[in-house]
Amino acid sequence: MIKKTKKQYVLSSSKLEMNDMSCFDFCGGYLYVDAELRLQQERDKKARNYLLVDNAFCTDVYPKQVAEDIRNFEGDSLLDLSKNWTGRWLLIRGNELITDATGLMSAFYWTRGNEWIISSSLALLAEVLGYPIKDSVQTSGLDWHLLPGTIMPNVNALFCTQQLRFTNKLEVLPIERFVDKRSLTTEDKIAQVTGRLIVALKNIEKYSGRKILIALTAGKDSRLVLASALSAKVDFSTYTMEHPKMLRADRKLPGKMAKKFDFLWTFIKMKAQSEELSDEYLQFNGGNSKGADIIFYSAGQSQQLPKDAIVIRSGIFETGQLYGRRTMGSTMETLREGVFRYYETSLKSDGQKEAFEKWERNAEDYPIPFIDLRDRFYIEQRVNGWVSAIEQALTINNFDSIQIANCQELISVLLAATDDERRNNTLACKMIEALVPELLKYPINKQSVIDKINIIRYTIVKRLFR
C-alpha cells in the first residue's frame, strides 16, 4: 500500500502526530518531511537559516549547487537568491516561504484564527485535518481546479506570484516573481534559454545522484530538451509511453532520432489498466490530478522506469508560445469572455467560477504590466494548477521528476517572446537550430491521415460511453 506521506511535506503552527515523518522546528512552526523528500539546511553570510525542500539545480553556472548560492547570499530577497534555480522546491527562511518559479511544489493551506497547516498534498492535508475529500477533478469538467480554490472546502492554493509569511497568523503576500526582458533580441533569448538548459542538465547529472531520463515525443519541446542534452554531452536515455490518442509520429520519430544520434530509447507499451492501481493513484493525490499519467500508472508503465532515474520533462515551454491565443483575449474582459465560452460547462460549478473570480481580482489588484494576461493565466492556472497537480501525483513513483524550464529567469525570457517569435513555433525551432540543427529534419507533431481517423473514432467512443 502506498503511504500518502511519500515524498510530501507538512507545515503546521502547532505540533502534529506525524510519526512516519521527520520534524524540524523553524521560526513560526513545525516542518514535517518524508524520508524520501530531500531536505537541505543551510546558513547564508548573515547567519540566517534556510530550509530547502526537494530538488533544485542551478542554471547559471556549472559546476555549482544551490547550497553555494545560499551560503554566499547577503541580500534580502528570496527571489534574488533563487532566480537561477530550476526544479521543484520549497524555500523557508525565518518566517517567509516561497515555492519554485511556477509553484510545482504546491503549497495548499488551511487557516483558522491563528492556526494554520500547509502541505504539498491535498490527500495528506485532508488526513491531517480529518476532512473527507468529496469532490474530484476527474468529474469537475476542467483538468484541474482553478486556483486559488481547491477541491477541498476551506483550503486554498498559493499562487507562484505570492509568498507566505508566518506571524501571529498566516499572511499571503504578492511578490514580483518575473522580470521584464522585452528588450532582449531574438538572439539574446535563444542564447539565454539554451545556455541555461545546458548548464541545468550538467548540474543535474553531477549533483542529482540519479540517471537522466528524458520523456521524448515528436513534439518541439521535448526535442529542445534532447538538443540541450546532446549539446551538454551528458549521459542520458529516453523513453516514450504508449497512450490511447498517440500520434504515429510519437511512435516512430523518437526511435529514428535515437538511431541517428546514438542514444538509448525505450518504447513502453500500454497494457490493460488496473482498477486497483487507478484507485491507488487517485487516493494518493486526493483526486486532484487529471492527466495521462493516471493511464501510465494504472497500466503499469510508470513502474517500468528505473527507480534511480530523474525524469526531465518539457511542459512549461508553452509560456513563450501561443497558449490561449485562439480562445482568449488579452484584456481581462476578453480573457474572461474566452474562458467562460471555452470552459462553459466546467465553470457552472460554483467552486470553479468562484475560484476564477478570485484569480481575476488578484490579477487586477496586483497587475504585472509586462506580462500578457493569457500568459499569466497559463502560469498561474495551467502550470501552477494543472501541471503542479500532476507533478505531485508523480511522486507516488520511485523516480524523481522535474520540469527543466521551471526557472524564474528562464521563464522571464520566454514571457518576453514577441508575437512573431511565438507564431509557427519560431523561437522554439530557432533554439533547436542553434543547438542541433539536424533535429529539425524530423517533422514536428505531424498528424497522419490515420491519426485524424483515430482521434475522431476515440472522441465518438468516449462520448458514447461517458
H or E element: which one contains 189? helix 186-207
Whether 392 and 414 map to the same domain: the answer is: yes
The grid cell for 257 is: 532520432
Supply the pLDDT for residue 459: 60
**Cell numbers representing residue 251 in the block:** 511512435
Q: Residue 465 has what pLDDT? A: 46
For the chain, list residues with pLDDT below 50: 465-466
State whether 293 and 397 are in the same domain: yes
Residue 345 inside a domain? The answer is no
Residue 455's pLDDT is what? 56
Task: Identify whether residues 13 and 120 lie together within a single domain.
Answer: yes
Do 134 and 251 reside in the same domain of the chain? no
Q: Do residue 167 and residue 190 come from a single domain?
A: no
CA distance 347 to 419: 29
Is 370 contained in some domain?
Answer: no
List the grid coordinates of 402: 522535474
For residue 297, the enclosing domain spans 186-320+385-455
Compute φ and ψ for 72, nearest 5 degrees: -95, 0
- Render 134-161 in DSSP notation, one character per residue: ---GGGSSSSSPPTT--SSTTEEE--TT
C-alpha–C-alpha distance, residues 70 and 72, integer Å: 5
Is residue 24 assigned to a domain? yes
3-state secondary structure of 286: coil
In a domain, 338, yes or no: no
> How confident is the model at residue 31, as a pLDDT?
97
CATH code of the domain in which 212 resides: 3.40.50.620
Residue 439: the pLDDT is 98
Same domain (yes/no): 305, 424: yes
**pLDDT attached to residue 170:** 95
Query: How would you write 318-360 as a 3-class SS string?
Result: HHHCCCCCCCCCCCHHHHHHHHHHHCCCHHHCHHHHHHHHHHH
From 121, 144, 174, give the residue that closes a domain: 174
pLDDT at 116: 97
Asked if residue 339 is part of any domain, the answer here is: no
Q: How many other CB atoms are found less than 10 A from the CB of residue 430?
A: 17
Domain match, 29 and 128 both? yes
- Residue 119 has what pLDDT? 98
Per-residue model confidence (pLDDT) at position 466: 47
Residues 152 and 201 grouped into a single domain: no
Count up the domains in the chain and report the number.
2
